[in-house]
Amino acid sequence: MLTARVIPCLDFVAGRVVKGVQFQDLRDTGDPASLALQYEDQGADEIIMLDVSATAESRSSASSTVADVRKRISIPLTVGGGVRSVDDVQALLESGADKVSINTAAVANPMLICEASDRFGKQCIVIAIDARKYHDDFVVVTNSGTQQTLLRASDWAMQATTFGAGEVLLTSWDRDGTQSGYDLLLIKEIAESVQVPVIASGGASHPNDMVLALRAGASAVLAASILHDKLFTISEIKNALKTAGYEVRL
Amino acid sequence: MSEVLIVPTGTANLASIEAAFARLNTPTRIATGATDIDQANHVVLPGVGSFGAAMEAIKTHSLFDSLCRRFDEQLPVLAICLGMQLLFEGSEESPTAKGLGIIKGHAARLTGAIRVPHMGWNHISSSGFVLQSGYAYFANSYRVESVSKDWSTAIVEYGGKWIAGIEKGPLVACQFHPELSGEWGLNMISRWLRC
């Protein structure tokens, strides 16, 4: 059986791992390559690295940081942040990413998803969607959460996956870094809208939250704060998932 | 340890494969022509992207015949992911493209009440020398349906049971990514290097 995945997320800026709250107030939490290796040893199923400064500061993701991490780990690596073109995707793949996530640029130009997916395969292209609650809907926010769109998150998820994204990295802006649990309604809505796997992100505080996210329809759960702050280890999380009846790779 | 030759299938992400071999202290090099393929001890046929594009890349580099020859002569080949599908006659993904045709059969899209791509770690059952049971990392939307009995097979279950890998002496192909399958995957690659 396909196992439930636990994925640590390394937000990075200038070669250091950082973590903020609602994408702001970033604090330093370590060296990317050593953290990634530590998480692989704990049983991480993949690593996601997001260059959180890239969109705001208009620069492409730091390929040397990616290359360092690639050399150290032997599990899949997804990289995102500031990806604007097919060339950006290619550069990250060449640096050692196995999958590339696209966010803001895809909202502005959905054809980027088609082009990247045609060229590199859909299993390689992750659509990263940052969503926040707005009245009774979930809407997409871009540019590290600084721009709110009128795009419904579920509509965008459907469109982006029809265009060729092979996975959805779904982050609740409202919950990011708050350790108040994943937004389960958001997960349910998106998981029901798409055929591809959904990675739940934003708000994990306890292994129990991860069980709930999987129940809501996520195929994988992402965590940053609770891992960087050593509140739980990945093996503790996986054991909790197993106890709840999910198959995990231990 | 002599170097491992990697077949340029165009869009494949080679960094992970190179990193895996580097961890096993084995140098790698990208093949530049048919002579390279003929002379190498070990050849890796990687593949990411589409079936049609990968076959085009093989033809562009005139590697079609030399790859087929290695299978005739039973010289070590490790075909990964799409690389495994290329060994067959064709794929539903690119109906007009012809595969290497070394093995009879086709690749077809995964169907059923499942999310596609098949993404993540799944358990394979196998009792081969190179392919052994364990958790392997997959990222595929297509898979081969059947293979002739002279190959030993690894089986995985996702939308039904299908072939996760095949092996016949030093000829090994897998739908999953050993280079991304942690310690288990590295051990598998190192068994293949001993072939």
CATH number of the domain enclosing B39: 3.40.50.880
Domains of chain A: which residue ranges?
A: 5-243
Q: Specify the pairing of strand B106-109 against strand B142-144.
A: antiparallel
pLDDT at A66: 93
Would you give the distance in Å from CA B153 to the centre of its chain? 13
Q: Which residues of B touch A122 (CB under 8 A)?
A: 117, 141
Residue A26 CA, chain-centre distance (Å), reads 17
Q: Which of B5, B164, B18, B129 is nearest to A93 (CA)?
A: B18
Supply the DSSP string of B116-171, one letter for each residue.
SSEEEEEEEEEESSS-EEEEEEEEESEEE----TTSEEEEEESSSEEEEEEEETTE
Q: Is A34 at the interface with chain B, CB within 8 A?
A: no
Confidence of residue A222 (pLDDT cuts 50, 70, 90): very high
Question: How far is the C-alpha of A249 from the C-alpha of B78, rounded, in Å?
Answer: 25
With CB atoms and an 8 Å threshold, state whether A74 touches B181: yes
Class of A5-243 per CATH? alpha beta
Contact B119 A124 (CB under 8 A): no
pLDDT band for position A55 (50/70/90)? low
Catalytic residue among B42, B61, B167, B179: B179
Model confidence over A30-53: pLDDT tens digits?
Answer: 899 999 999 999 999 999 999 987
Query: Is residue A57 pLDDT above 80, yes or no?
Result: no
In chain A, residues 162-181 whose CB comes closer than 8 Å to chain B: 166-167
Residue A67: its pLDDT value, please? 93
Residue B72: domain span? 4-193
Q: Which of B20, B121, B185 sits opposite A5 (nearest CB)?
A: B121
A58 pLDDT above the threshold of 50 = no
On the CB side of A198, CA atoms within 13 Å amount to 32
| B81 catalytic per annotation | yes
Options A45, A51, A130, A183, the catalytic residue: A130
Q: Which pLDDT does position A61 carry in this prediction? A: 47
Does the distance separating the beta carbons of B11 and A120 come in below 8 Å?
yes
- For residues A59 and A248, the model is more confident at A248
Return the residue of B nearest to A47 by Cα: B180
Total domains in the fold of chain B = 1
Q: Model ipTM?
A: 0.95
pLDDT digits (tens, 9 = 90+) for A130-174: 999 999 999 999 998 899 999 999 999 999 999 999 999 999 999
pTM, whole model, 2 decimals? 0.95
Choose among B15, B48, B115: nearest Cβ to A124.
B48
Across the interface, of B13, B22, B123, the residue whose CB is closest to A98 is B13
| Dihedral (Cα; A20, A73, A218, A221), 10-degree rounding | -40
User: How many residues appear in chain A?
Assistant: 250
Q: Residue A21's pLDDT band (boundaries 50, 70, 90)?
A: confident
φ, ψ for residue A117 (rounded to 5)?
-70, -40
Tens digit of each residue's pLDDT, chain B (195 residues) = 589 999 988 766 789 999 999 999 999 999 999 999 999 999 999 987 789 889 999 999 899 999 999 999 999 999 999 999 999 999 999 999 999 999 999 999 999 999 999 999 999 999 999 999 999 999 999 999 899 999 999 999 999 999 999 999 999 999 999 999 999 999 999 999 999
Mean model confidence pLDDT for chain A: 93
Q: What residue type is A183 in one-letter code?
A: D
Q: How many CB atoms lie within 10 A of CB A24?
A: 12
For the purposes of burial, counting CB atoms within 10 Å of the CB of B35, is it exposed (0-12), middle (13-18) or buried (19 or more)? exposed
A118–chain B Cβ distance below 8 A for any pair:
yes
